[in-house]
Structure 1
Amino acid sequence: MKIKSFFAKPFALYIYKQVRKSMLTAAADQEHIFQSLIKTGLKTEFGKEHHFEKIKTHEDFVNNVPIREYEDFKKYIEKIKQGKHNILWKGIPIYLAKTSGTTSGIKYIPITKDSIDNHIDTARNALLCYMARSGNSQFSNGKMIFLSGSPELERVGGIPTGRLSGIVNHHIPKYLRTNQMPSFETNCIEDWEEKLNKIVEETVNERMTLISGIPPWVQMYFDALVEKTGKKIKDIFPEFSVMVQGGVNFEPYKAKLLETIGKPIDTIELFPASEGFFAFQDNYKEEGMLLNTDSGIFFEFVPASEVFNKNPTRLTLTDVKLNENYVLIVSNNAGLWAYNIGDTVKFISLNPYRIVVTGRIKHFISAFGEHVIGEEVEGALLKAAENENIKIIEFTVAPKISQDDNKSYHEWYIEFENLPHNLKQFAHDIDENLRKKNIYYDDLIKGNILQPLKIIPVQKNGFISYMRSVGKLGGQNKVPRLSNDRIIADQLQHWAKKPATETITNS
């Protein structure tokens, strides 16, 4: 046994026991965090404006602090960027995490001395819980990679600023530095394809044991390795034993990734964001991620059906129910207050509190009142794909609104690894699955207001080409599953296998 895995095992068991204890005190921990956040926030500009001195209960908080999105925080962020102190949190942030917003352009999310541990420790805890439960400590002796953004930071208002993954890179413990891949120089390359080629060069002959990243970019890395060597990943990296992933739902990518690897492999799902590390898979054998209830974040949950209401219901942890979609609202020790991160989650366990991410609240189709969400389209597609052993590389869905009555429909752009034998039947199966999941969509089909969905097969690497064309190839970028407009769909026409007139339908 190597020295790192030898010492990692007892530490993993210690952390795992601490995580298990926190499961039992989740509600009490949330109340403690809430009170602590309010106490610190009292002395900030935000706290004074929102009468934190009057806030004693969650009800007081709801009455004084409305739910906000990034646009509503911009005036405070601008003051922070000007070097002003005590705006959203005490002092000034130690970092600004730079992230792309669909409506706000570049967003700058504060990370403070108090909140940085949430990002670092949660990633550590996820790996140590896996180690404790699986008994696999040997991966800590090999090389590990996280396909991430550049660790080079700029300064905005004197504050180090960059992608979250780049910021976190600076906090990797020294004892893991020798295990980390790729090199710092390679990680700093901005062009994704150039960076990917260098990563392949640096790792192809290494003892890779852990690989982490957003699934579509991990697949791209694997494809490049296979192209270079002509081998399955299991033969290139025989000691590769665990894959860590997050950022998007893993299931649509799972079959293709596992086929490329060539053997079953343990996977760990994470739910990180610039606004906080919200959850992680504490049990690699069970679905769902443990909500991070004792890490400086106070959670609220808004029923998804109410998110656009002026005064939606705001639930605390003790009020949530199983299998209902909630929009996640966070307040944290970086100075975000009742912040709508835009993700929807569903509890699949209340003891302990485990969630699955079901989509983005802004990513839906409701051009005709159907309000189809990401969880529904992914489920409908995956069920059809599993029945025929079809592997999906990537997909997105948009409405096709016709000026003629009874001619509108949902248009699915799908890049297949292997085409179905009968595309017409495959489209029909997806449509039937979706109708079972969404009664509004079903009613619109029955009423001839919508035509059954249509599939446009996308050329090989079509989505990669699209992402390259819009400057979002690699890093933490991902293709939205659903859009209410046709911006993505119209651009994907350039990589369609057939003209729209030859689209495969289910009718």
Structure 2
Amino acid sequence: MGLKSKLIKPFAKKIARDIDRWSADAVGAQREVYQKLMSKGQRTAFGKDHSLKAELPYEAFRDQVPVRDYEALKPYVERIKQGEKDVLWPGLPKYFAKTSGTTSGVKYIPLTKDSMPNHFGTARNALFNYYARTGKGHWLDGKMIFLSGSPELEQAGQIPTGRLSGIVNHEVPSWLRTNQLPTYKTNCIEDWEEKLERIIDETAKADMRLISGIPPWVQMYYERLLERTGKKTVKEVFPNFSMFVYGGVNFEPYRGALEKLVGQRLDSLETYPASEGFIAFQDDHTQPGLLLNAYSGIFFEFIPLEDIHSDAPRRLWLNEVEVGVNYALIINNNAGLWGYNIGDTVQFVSKAPYRLVVSGRVKHFISAFGEHVIGKEVEEAMNLTVAALGGKVTEFTVAPQVSPPEGGTPYHEWLIDFGERPADMAAFAKRLNEEMAQQNIYYQDLIAGHILRPLVITPLQQDAFRNYMKSQGKLGGQNKVPRLSNDRKIATQLLQWKA
């Protein structure tokens, strides 16, 4: 055990005890968070507009504060950008996290002094909790890679503004900076391919022990690292590498390819961060799901997915949720987001403690025929099919083919970049279709009723998804291709790399 891991061990154990305490009474923790939000929210322009009070019952809050997206929040954000204080939260935000929107263009998500511990503190707590539970902490005694966006910030009014992953670089404490790679200068490079080369320059001979990033971009790093070093596995390059931290993308479709590149199975830690808040993290490697971050400045609400487009959707708080139901996730937080729909859907897998899985995006689904297929279903079907029949899938997306150019019945088209093709493609497609029917009863009914014919697989060239992201100016960072779409915009672009 090195000096740093030895010094941190008692603190890690305290963190784990704290997590045990609040997760055992997550409903009570949420009630406390709600009361703190009301106490401060009443002093803001938003609070006055919506009659927030320190002792406001949740039922009244639900009636007074509508669910909103960024467009509805934007007028308040514009006031902040013009220098007005106490708009959404007391004072001014410390940062704006800049994200790309759809109808809204660029979105500016406020981050405040009160909310920053939710972001960096939760990431730290998740790692220290892992150390306390497993006894594995030697990753603290070597170098760590955090693949992130550029930390260079611009100004939106008086507020420093940039990508969340870049902003977090400014919050890294001094005790961790000596471990962190790449350097600030390299992290500022915008072009992903150039940045990747510089990262390898800085890391190839370092004592790398932990790597954090979105799986597809980590895979690119591994592949290029092996090309540059001439080694067969990442473990040959980094003998002490023992920990992979990821979030934002389901790891399972990438697991086989990444483990082959590394040369063995590594311990991993899954997190659920977003610009709007750090939602959940993996607290127990023996249990499914991620622990809801119930005591970190966010009061959560949940709308059953079938209600999300209703004029009066059912809004539930933690005490009312059920296991196995798809919910749209709504947050109220100490950065001044109120009734805010972040666009994700979740399912609880446990209520003791409250653990969930991300099931998809509200806007990422296929329902061209009323089937309402979601991301969790296509990923589960793919994982089960690969496990049964073999092959390796690097990346995939699904789109409806409503008017097949060859004529005939519509179908779902699966565009797949195979790292290794299955031995029998027809059998693979048949099994995948069967697994989808098991995942979604509406899809099953449409197949049985000959409204849809069984899915069609279109193999793509190697690196098709990377080439697509590059063509869109979104290569690297936190960008990822949606697993499924209700139109053919992405599919049409990808077909130029048809195998």
When normalised by structure 2's length, the TM-score is 0.98
Contact 1:409 1:451 (8 Å CA) reproduced:
yes
What whole-Å deviation, never above 9, does each CA across 1:211-230 have from its counterpart, x for those lacking one? Answer: 00011111111111122223
Shift of 1:23: 1.2
What whole-Å deviation, never above 9, does each CA across 1:11-49 have from its counterpart, x for those lacking one? Answer: 111111111111122111111111111121112111111
Query: Match of 1:324?
Result: 325
The 2-side partners of 1:71 and 1:426 are apart by 43
- Alpha carbons of 1:347 and 1:403: their partners in 2 closer, same or farther (altered >3 Å)? closer
The 2-side partners of 1:309 and 1:226 are apart by 52
Query: Match of 2:268?
Result: 267
Contact 1:82 1:157 (8 Å CA) reproduced:
yes
The 2-side partners of 1:274 and 1:54 are apart by 27
Pick one of 466, 469, 475 that aligns with 2:468: 466
Moved over 4 A (4+): 403-406
Query: Match of 1:287?
Result: 288
The 1-side partners of 2:439 and 2:284 are apart by 28
Contact 2:35 2:55 (8 Å CA) reproduced:
no
Contact 1:344 1:360 (8 Å CA) reproduced:
yes
Residue pairs, 1:149-298, within 5 angstroms: 149-228=149-228, 229-298=230-299
Aligned residue pair count: 497
The one-letter amino acid paired with 1:19 is I
The one-letter amino acid paired with 2:244 is M
What whole-Å deviation, never above 9, does each CA across 1:133-180 have from its counterpart, x for those lacking one? Answer: 111111100000111000111111011000001111111110111110
Query: Match of 1:488?
Result: 490
The 1-side partners of 2:237 and 2:134 are apart by 23
The one-letter amino acid paired with 2:2 is K
- Structure 1 position 3 matched with structure 2 position 6: no
The one-letter amino acid paired with 1:86 is D
Shift of 1:399: 0.7
Query: Match of 1:501?
Result: none
The one-letter amino acid paired with 2:387 is E
The 2-side partners of 1:308 and 1:482 are apart by 19
- Which range is displaced more, 467-476 or 37-46? 37-46
Contact 1:55 1:61 (8 Å CA) reproduced:
no
The 1-side partners of 2:258 and 2:102 are apart by 28
- Alpha carbons of 1:57 and 1:406: their partners in 2 closer, same or farther (altered >3 Å)? farther
The 2-side partners of 1:77 and 1:55 are apart by 26
- Alpha carbons of 1:54 and 1:128: their partners in 2 closer, same or farther (altered >3 Å)? closer
Contact 1:76 1:87 (8 Å CA) reproduced:
yes
Contact 1:345 1:357 (8 Å CA) reproduced:
yes
Residue pairs, 1:78-117, within 5 angstroms: 78-117=78-117
- Which range is displaced more, 327-336 or 440-449? 440-449
What whole-Å deviation, never above 9, does each CA across 1:74-127 have from its counterpart, x for those lacking one? Answer: 111111111111111111101000011233221100000110111111000011
Residue pairs, 1:390-469, within 5 angstroms: 390-402=391-403, 406-469=408-471
Contact 2:38 2:54 (8 Å CA) reproduced:
no
The one-letter amino acid paired with 2:188 is C
Contact 2:231 2:237 (8 Å CA) reproduced:
no
- Structure 1 position 40 matched with structure 2 position 40: yes
Query: Match of 1:57?
Result: 57
- Gapped regions of structure 2 (runs ≥ 5): none
The 2-side partners of 1:335 and 1:208 are apart by 38
- Alpha carbons of 1:428 and 1:115: their partners in 2 closer, same or farther (altered >3 Å)? same
Contact 1:397 1:482 (8 Å CA) reproduced:
yes
The 2-side partners of 1:269 and 1:289 are apart by 8
Contact 1:406 1:449 (8 Å CA) reproduced:
no
Query: Match of 2:390?
Result: 389
The one-letter amino acid paired with 1:374 is G
- Which range is displaced more, 134-143 or 229-238? 229-238
% identity of equivalent residues: 55
Contact 2:35 2:54 (8 Å CA) reproduced:
no
What whole-Å deviation, never above 9, does each CA across 1:229-267 have from its counterpart, x for those lacking one? Answer: 232011111100110000111111112111111112100
SS at match of 2:420: coil
The one-letter amino acid paired with 1:358 is S
What whole-Å deviation, never above 9, does each CA across 1:292-323 have from its counterpart, x for those lacking one? Answer: 11100000111112111111111111111111
The one-letter amino acid paired with 1:129 is N
SS at match of 2:478: coil
Q: What is the RMSD of the two structures over their aligned residues, measured on CA atoms?
A: 1.3
Residue pairs, 1:131-142, within 5 angstroms: 131-142=131-142
Contact 2:39 2:54 (8 Å CA) reproduced:
no
What whole-Å deviation, never above 9, does each CA across 1:164-210 have from its counterpart, x for those lacking one? Answer: 01111111110111110011110000000100111111111111000
The 2-side partners of 1:52 and 1:300 are apart by 17
Shift of 1:406: 4.8
SS at match of 2:376: helix
Contact 1:406 1:448 (8 Å CA) reproduced:
no
The 2-side partners of 1:403 and 1:241 are apart by 48
Contact 2:391 2:423 (8 Å CA) reproduced:
no
The 2-side partners of 1:24 and 1:401 are apart by 48
SS at match of 2:311: coil
The 1-side partners of 2:18 and 2:267 are apart by 23
- Alpha carbons of 1:55 and 1:496: their partners in 2 closer, same or farther (altered >3 Å)? farther
The 1-side partners of 2:102 and 2:477 are apart by 16
Query: Match of 1:504?
Result: none
The one-letter amino acid paired with 1:333 is N
The 2-side partners of 1:458 and 1:245 are apart by 26
SS at match of 1:119: helix
Shift of 1:280: 0.7
- Alpha carbons of 1:53 and 1:20: their partners in 2 closer, same or farther (altered >3 Å)? closer
Shift of 1:389: 2.3
Contact 2:417 2:459 (8 Å CA) reproduced:
yes
- Alpha carbons of 1:55 and 1:450: their partners in 2 closer, same or farther (altered >3 Å)? farther
Shift of 1:383: 0.7
Shift of 1:424: 1.2
SS at match of 1:52: coil
SS at match of 1:370: coil
